[in-house]
Structures are given as C-alpha cells and as structure tokens.
Amino acid sequence: MKTILDFHEKKIKNQKISMITCYDYTFARILSQSNIDCLLVGDSLAMTMHGHKTTLNASVNMMALHTAAVVRGAGDKFVIGDLPFMSYRKGLTANMNYVEKIMKAGAHAVKLEGAAGNIELVRHLVDSGVPVMGHLGLTPQSVNQLGGFKVQGRDEKAQKKIKEQALQLQDAGAFSIVLECVPSKLAKEITASLEVPTIGIGAGPDCDGQVLVLQDMLGMNEGFKPKFLKTYFNGFETLKDVFNDYHQEVTTGAFPTEKESYS
C-alpha cells in the first residue's frame, strides 16, 4: 500500500490490511521487501526501543528520529508516525509544529489516540494535507486514567461512546481507525458502521486489518503473553542461542579462522 487511497480500496474490496510496528532502518529494509501493507512507527518505541514502562516517555524528537530511520529503509511502504503523549494537546500552533516534525521526518500520516478534544485538530490536520489515523479502545497514553492496560468497551455505555467516537473521527476526516483491546462484537459493529477501515489489535477477527508490535509478534518480548498476541518466531530464545554460539566460538578459538582473516 502506497497511499491512503489504498486503505479505502482495500475496505471496498473486502481485503484485509496488515500493519506492523517498525522503529529502525534494518527492520524497515526487511519489511520493505515483505508483503506487509503498512508500517507504524508507534510510540510503543518508548517501551520496545528505550525500555520505558509505558508510552508516556515517547517524545516528538524520538518519534521523528525513529520515523526518519524507518523511512530510509521502507521503500514504497506507507509509513504512519504516532503523535506521542501530550504532543497534540498543547494548542493548535504547538500541535501543528509537532506534526510538521513527524511529517518532515518522512511519515505519510500521523496517528493520535482518542476522540475527546481531538476532533477539531483532526479536521484541521486533514485540511492541512496531513492524513490522520485514529486510535480508540485501549489508548495506552491514557493508561493512568484508564487504571491499567485493560480491555475497554465492556459495558453498554462505554460501547456506545466508542461507537460515537469512531463516527466522529471518520466525520473529521480520519482515513482509518485502530481499535485496541475491545470485545470482538464491538469491533465488528464499529467496522460495519464505518466507511474507513478499522485496524485491530486485541479486537477480534472482524476488523478490516490487524496490527502487532514487531518485537511482540517475533517473540522477542520475553514473558509478554496477552491473549490477543500470536508469536510467529521464538525470537528471544533463538537469538539468545545465536549469541551463545558466537560466544562459544570466540572463547574456544573456533572463530575467527584463516577463512575469516586477511593474508
């Protein structure tokens, strides 16, 4: 997928959209030659790349730096950059300056969390030529307000609110909406109610697409086993074994040999 028009087309043709997070040049190069539809430079990089406990520590500078690195390796893949915690709640001029940094780092679109207080900004960004992806349900930047990383939209009132917010984001011009950790039934209803595609994570099989955090799906995030996650590689153990093989060969003198040496 190369533009937001492809998101629209996929929804019309009933074709699922695959999205994965990416934070660096090396993985972007691999992904650029894969069939994955689009890359998200998620603010989850605060956790995966920088070791913080939540995404609150992601800054605009971090997002711009990682976005630029990803874009250098991403070829013609569509790249979405997250707007980090607080960066879109500071008034229009400051918000726009931050968005400008992410877009000039090479993102093709930005993503922001929640609808309350963001609708006017989404409209303004879209009118300014910046495609916006929404994000509803479990919005990790609000982890302290939500009281933890919990499934959202459990009761009817919360479900009604999320449904309304999805429509508000669509009306404001969002080209797609991430639904994170909501019951499958709610995600299905929202997906059916929207013209723009939904991208699920912990939102069941009926969204228009799916996103996973790269380190999580590669099994590199040791001990992280939420219900929604499927791992496609035993990254942590496999890589640990590889490093141990290298250590073994270095310490026993098996590497390097003549073969890897200059005469």
Active site residue 258: no
Report 56-115 residues binding Na ion (CB under 5 A).
Answer: 82
Q: How far is the CB of 138 from Na ion (least distance, A)?
A: 10
- Per-residue tokens: 21: 């997070």
Considering the candidates 180, 189, 195, 260, report the single residue annotated as catalytic.
180
185 is in an annotated binding site: no
Classify the phi-psi angles of 198: left when phi > 0, otherwise alpha if psi is within -120 to 50, otherwise beta.
Answer: beta
Please report how close the Cβ of residue 140 comes to ligand KIV at its closest, in angstroms: 7
> In the beta sheet, which residues pair with residue 20?
39, 212
The footprint of ligand KIV on this chain (CB under 6 A) covers a number of residues equal to: 11
Interacting residues with ligand KIV between 64 and 103 (CB under 6 A): 82
CB of 46 to ligand KIV, least distance (A): 9
CA distances from 75 to 33, 172, 187 (A): 8, 30, 32
178 scored as a contact of ligand KIV (CB under 6 A): yes
Determine, following the binding rule CB under 6 A, whether residue 37 of this chain makes contact with ligand KIV.
no
Kindly report the CA angle at 122 between 44 and 137, in degrees rounded to 5?
Answer: 45
Q: Does 118 bind ligand KIV (CB under 6 A)?
A: no
Size of the site for Na ion (CB under 5 A): 3
How many whole angstroms separate alpha carbon 124 and alpha carbon 226?
A: 36
- CA 182, CA 153: separation in Å to the nearest integer? 6
Residue stretches of the annotated binding site:
43-44, 82, 111, 113
